[in-house]
Amino acid sequence: MCIPSFNFHIITTSFLISLFVFVSSPLHAEQVVVYSARIEQLIKPMFDAFTNNTGIKVKYTTDKEGALLARLQAEGRNTPADLFITADAGNLWAAAQAGLLRPFDSHILKSNIPEHLRDPNNEWFGLSIRARTIIYNTDKVDPEDLSTYEDLADSKWKKRLCLRTSKKVYNQSLVAMMIAEHGEAETERIVKGWVSNLATDPLSDDTRAMEFVAAGRCDLTIVNTYYYGRLLEKDPNLPLGIFWPNQKDGGVHVNISGAGLTRYGKNPQAAEQLLEFLSSISAQKLFADVNMEYPVNTNIMPDPLVASWGRFIQSNINLAKAGELQTAAVKLMDRAGYK
Ligand code: FE
């Protein structure tokens, strides 16, 4: 009695298998191609999780953001890339400006990502937050004397400030956001004040600036939080403290690592799925924690080490301003003598 039904079962199963083989033939094999300015170790864990969840393969190329942007531009309609990932809203804004990104109106992204951390035109989306904050030498500075970015222009900090070079997009975005907040004239006054308080010529990177502070060659600087985490992980005894400025006025300046769909990607639906996945609770935890950043999704706590730096109020001016005012910021820093 049960033999016929057994046969039927085998027939059904083999039919389904052949159907599955047909559907997943190479022509239809689902994949998504990513160009990423975030290095492999910061993206691979999320891509692996996405592939595990969906069966969609993720192929990726990593390089500097400038090289990837040039490549997207040169490839035009023929680009194999579906998704572009990079740090700093200034870079994402530039990609959108160059017509390389495609808007994506997604209620999932809108509900997972606060409004100020995504493009008003939906062409790019923040996926992790880095705060650009004040780091000070704990032997030389009483945090009671610290208050705002603007206060670092006060003559009480004469020959005590270290800054990273103005050539880095992080500082261009910081100054652009200050222009959005204060206007050009006031921002120029502040930046000139910073320059007149410098203890040494601007330094090549955030880590070097903190090393100068730790060595007593200056007393304080402005850096991205994850560099602070990385340096203290290497040497927990460094006399470096973290301070959250502007808690009563304007909030801490934040920036993002983020992504946008490319205009000419060949796998648009898989790319949309990946982007939405990266904003989800499970991926957000990984995306932020691997680089000691803060999740953009406010339903998630940061990594315990990052959380130990304390909570802070962040600026809620839309980060599109970092792009829109970038040229003005570069010119302003030049006028102010900030090299
Ligand atoms: Fe960085």
202 and 226, same domain (yes or no): yes
Q: What is the CATH number of the domain that holds 290?
A: 3.40.190.10
- Residue 90 is assigned to a structural domain of this protein: yes
- Digit-coded pLDDT (tens) for 12-53: 444 444 444 444 444 556 999 999 999 999 999 999 999 999
- Residue 14 is assigned to a structural domain of this protein: no
Measured CA to CA, the distance from residue 29 to residue 135 in angstroms comes to 49
For residue 133, the CA-to-ligand 1 centroid distance in Å is 13
164 and 208, same domain (yes or no): yes
For residue 29, the CA-to-ligand 1 centroid distance in Å is 35
**Longest Cα separation, the chain:** 96
118 and 264, same domain (yes or no): yes
84 and 148, same domain (yes or no): no
- Residue 147 is assigned to a structural domain of this protein: yes
Q: Tell me, what amino acid is at 124?
A: W
223 and 110, same domain (yes or no): no
59 and 168, same domain (yes or no): no
Q: What is the pTM of this model?
A: 0.89
Structure tokens at 300: 């998630």
Backbone Cα Rg of the chain: 24
- Residue 330 is assigned to a structural domain of this protein: yes
* pLDDT higher than threshold 70 for residue 275: yes
What's the pLDDT band for 327 if we cut at 50, 70, 90? very high
- Residue 121 is assigned to a structural domain of this protein: yes
Contact residues for 134 (Cβ-Cβ < 8 A; gap 6+): 146, 149, 152, 220, 221, 222, 242, 243, 244, 245
- Residue 317 is assigned to a structural domain of this protein: no
- What was the pLDDT predicted at 106? 98
For residue 138, the CA-to-ligand 1 centroid distance in Å is 24
For residue 206, the CA-to-ligand 1 centroid distance in Å is 8
For residue 264, the CA-to-ligand 1 centroid distance in Å is 28
226 and 330, same domain (yes or no): yes
- What was the pLDDT predicted at 258? 98
- Residue range 73-81: average pLDDT? 98
Measured CA to CA, the distance from residue 305 to residue 309 in angstroms comes to 7
- Residue range 311-332: average pLDDT? 97
For residue 8, the CA-to-ligand 1 centroid distance in Å is 60
Q: Specify whether the CB–CB gap between 162 and 212 falls below 8 A.
A: yes
* pLDDT higher than threshold 60 for residue 161: yes
327 and 194, same domain (yes or no): yes
Residue from 323, 172, 177, 306 nearest 250 by CA: 177
174 and 236, same domain (yes or no): yes
Q: Which domain holds residue 248?
A: 130-253+322-335
* pLDDT higher than threshold 90 for residue 120: yes
- What was the pLDDT predicted at 298? 87
- Residue 190 is assigned to a structural domain of this protein: yes
230 and 152, same domain (yes or no): yes
111 and 134, same domain (yes or no): no
* pLDDT higher than threshold 70 for residue 150: yes
For 15-19, 93-97, 262-266, which range has the lowest pLDDT when averaged over its residues?
A: 15-19
For 5-9, 126-130, 190-194, which range has the lowest pLDDT when averaged over its residues?
A: 5-9
* pLDDT higher than threshold 80 for residue 280: yes
For residue 205, the CA-to-ligand 1 centroid distance in Å is 9
Higher pLDDT, 293 or 8: 293
Q: Specify whether the CB–CB gap between 310 and 117 falls below 8 A.
A: no
The percentage of residues in the chain with a pLDDT greater than 70, rounded to a whole number, is 91
For residue 227, the CA-to-ligand 1 centroid distance in Å is 7
* pLDDT higher than threshold 50 for residue 152: yes
**Helix, strand, or coil (residue 118):** strand
Helical (H) or strand (E) element with 188: helix 184-197
Measured CA to CA, the distance from residue 218 to residue 32 in angstroms comes to 47
Q: Number of structural domains, the chain?
A: 2
Residue 217 C-beta-side C-alpha neighbours within 13 Å: 12
158 and 243, same domain (yes or no): yes
- Residue 3 is assigned to a structural domain of this protein: no
For residue 277, the CA-to-ligand 1 centroid distance in Å is 23
- Residue range 254-262: average pLDDT? 97
For residue 257, the CA-to-ligand 1 centroid distance in Å is 9
- What was the pLDDT predicted at 28? 55
Residue-wise over 144-183: b if at least 16 C-beta within 10 A, else e?
A: eebbbbbbbbeeebeebbbbbbbeebbbbbbbbbbbbbee
Q: Which residue has the tokens 């992080």?
A: 170
Residue from 254, 240, 246, 245 nearest 302 by CA: 254
For residue 17, the CA-to-ligand 1 centroid distance in Å is 48
